[in-house]
Amino acid sequence: MGLSMTDEKKAILHICRTGAKTQFYTLYVERIEPHPFGGRLHTCRYQQNLAFDLSDAMENAEKWIEERELRKHYTVEIQHHSEPRPIYATMSAFGADFKMNKRRTHWWANANEDFWTQWKKQKPEIKAAGYWVKRMEGTWLVFKRIDAGEMDFVNDKPPTKPTGIPTTPKPAQPRPSDPVPAPERPKPKNTSHFMPVRACCAWCDDEGNKSDMVLSPAQFGTPMLICRACFGDVGGAQ
C-alpha cells in the first residue's frame, strides 16, 4: 500500500454490513496520524458491532464519537460499505515504508539517504523516538520499537456473532405469494397423575397402599405382604 503524507490527524469510521448472513452493521475505525520525521502511522481495526438497522447503527456510531470526543482530536469522516474492512497497521518515516517483523516487536526499513541526512542532524532525537540503526548482512537497516497501542492490531479480528447489539432484528413481513400458515393446534394438557398400587394385608385383610406394606417374617414360609400396623404382631409370632 502506498502511503501519502498528511499533516492532520484523520479518523474514518467505516460502517460495514457484516455477519454470516450480512444481517448487522459493524464499526471499523481507520486512523491516519502524523508521524515524526516526515512519516505517519496508518491503522485500521475492528471496533464493535453497532446494530441490525442502519439508522440505529448511525446513531450508535455518533454516540461512540461523542463519548470519546473524537472530533476534538481528529477530522472525522463516516463511510458505508457492504463488507468488512481489512485490518492493518503500517508506518512510514524518512520517506520509507516500514514493515512489522513476524514477532510483532518492531518496525524495520532499509536505511535511505533521507534517514542518514536526518541521523547526522538529529541523532539524539531519533534515538529518543525509539529508532536505532544496525548493519545486517552488509545492509544498513533502521528499526523502531512497536508501541503498545500498535500491538492491539496483532490479533484484532471481528467476532463471528453480533454481541452487544442493543436492538433486535425486525421480523420479516409476509409476502402476498406466501402461503397462509395453518393455525397451530393447542397441545392437550397432561392430566395424567400417579395412582398408587393397592394391596390387602395378609394378616388383617385391610386394604392399603402397597408401598406402605412389608414382607412377612421367614417363619410364615411363603412371603406375604403385611401392613406396618400388623408387623409387630406378626413379627412376634412363634
Do residues 24 and 89 touch, judged by C-beta distance below 8 A? no
SS3 191: coil
What average pLDDT score do residues 130-134 get? 92
What average pLDDT score do residues 63-83 get? 92
Q: What is the pLDDT of residue 162?
A: 75
- Torsions phi, psi for 204 (to 5 deg): -115, 0
Do residues 39 and 91 touch, judged by C-beta distance below 8 A? yes
Q: What is the pLDDT of residue 237?
A: 41
Q: What is the pLDDT of residue 124?
A: 93
112 or 182, higher pLDDT: 112
Q: What is the pLDDT of residue 180?
A: 67
101 pLDDT more than 50: yes
Q: 22-36, 150-164, 194-208: which has the highest mean pLDDT? A: 22-36
67 contacts: CB under 8 Å, gap ≥ 6: none
Q: What is the pLDDT of residue 238?
A: 36
106 vs 146: CA distance, rounded Å: 5
| 35 band by pLDDT with thresholds 50, 70 and 90 | confident
218 pLDDT more than 70: no
What average pLDDT score do residues 31-40 get? 86
Q: Give the H/E segment covering residue 97.
A: strand 96-100
51 vs 60: CA distance, rounded Å: 8
pLDDT, averaged across the chain: 80
Q: Which residue has the cell 544498513?
A: 140
232 vs 235: CA distance, rounded Å: 5
Q: Give the H/E segment covering residue 109.
A: strand 106-110
206 or 24, higher pLDDT: 24
44 or 236, higher pLDDT: 44
Q: Give the H/E segment covering residue 225.
A: strand 225-227
What is the DSSP secondary structure assignment for residue 131, as one 8-state letter?
E
SS3 89: strand
pLDDT in tens, 108-129: 999 999 999 999 999 999 999 8
172 pLDDT more than 80: no
Q: What is the pLDDT of residue 25?
A: 92
